[in-house]
């Protein structure tokens, strides 16, 4: 009986980590110099409110966080999913890193390095 209880306890502890980390699997960027719309596709084995992809952010190569999108609920039956957000990026920044966050692991899944569109002088 004690072994069964130990197994059940360990199983309960490990269920929160089962879904793994959130991965960025696609990014589209549009907009003009200074302010861009990022459409970010995230893949994560959301399990419900206890473990789900709860956001993404755009970060400079120097670590500066330019903006975040908070995801307000799990996407258990919608994988992968895409959400957009407007992000201000200073002139001169050529590339940014887009990374996803989940409620258990934080950051750590697949990231994408994305070029920032160059403004045209029309």
Is residue 99 assigned to a domain?
yes
Q: How confident is the model at residue 102 (pLDDT cuts 50, 70, 90)?
A: very high
Q: Of 87, 106, 15, 74, whose CA–CA distance to 97 is shortest?
A: 87
Does 89 map to a domain?
yes
The tens digit of pLDDT for each residue in 5-36 reads 333 333 344 444 456 889 999 999 999 878 99
Is 122's pLDDT higher than 70? no
pLDDT at 107: 92
122 in a domain, yes or no?
Answer: no
Radius of gyration of the chain from its Cα atoms, rounded to whole angstroms: 18
How does the average pLDDT of the chain come out, rounded? 82
How far is it, in rounded angstroms, from Cα 10 to Cα 102?
Answer: 22
Q: What percent of the chain has pLDDT over 70?
A: 81
The pLDDT assigned to 85 comes to 95
Domain around 80: 2-115
* Both structure tokens of 22: 């959130």
9 inside domain:
yes
Both structure tokens of 119? 């403004």
No. of H helices and E strands in the chain?
1, 7
* 54 assigned to some structural domain: yes
In sequence order, the 6+-apart residues with CB closer than 8 A to the CB of 58 are 38, 65, 66, 67, 68, 87, 89, 96, 97, 98
How far out from the chain centre does Cα 76 lie?
15
Classify residue 121: in a domain, yes or no.
no
Task: Establish if 16 belongs to a structural domain.
Answer: yes
On whether residue 120 sits in a domain, the answer given is no
CATH number at residue 78: 2.60.40.10
Residue 56 three-state SS: strand
Tokens of 117: 């569109």
Name the domain count of the chain. 1
């Amino acid at each position: 009986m004690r072994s069964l209880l130990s197994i059940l306890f360990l199983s309960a502890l490990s269920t929160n980590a089962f879904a793994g980390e959130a991965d960025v699997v696609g990014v589209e960027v549009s907009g003009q110099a200074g302010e861009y719309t990022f459409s970010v596709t995230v893949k994560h084995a959301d399990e419900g409110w206890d473990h789900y992809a709860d956001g993404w952010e755009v970060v400079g190569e120097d670590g500066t966080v330019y903006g975040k999108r908070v995801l307000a609920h799990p996407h258990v039956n919608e994988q992968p999913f895409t959400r957009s957000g407007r992000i201000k990026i200073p002139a001169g920044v050529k590339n940014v890193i887009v990374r996803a966050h989940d409620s258990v692991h934080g950051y750590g899944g697949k990231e994408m390095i994305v070029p920032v569109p160059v403004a045209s002088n029309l």
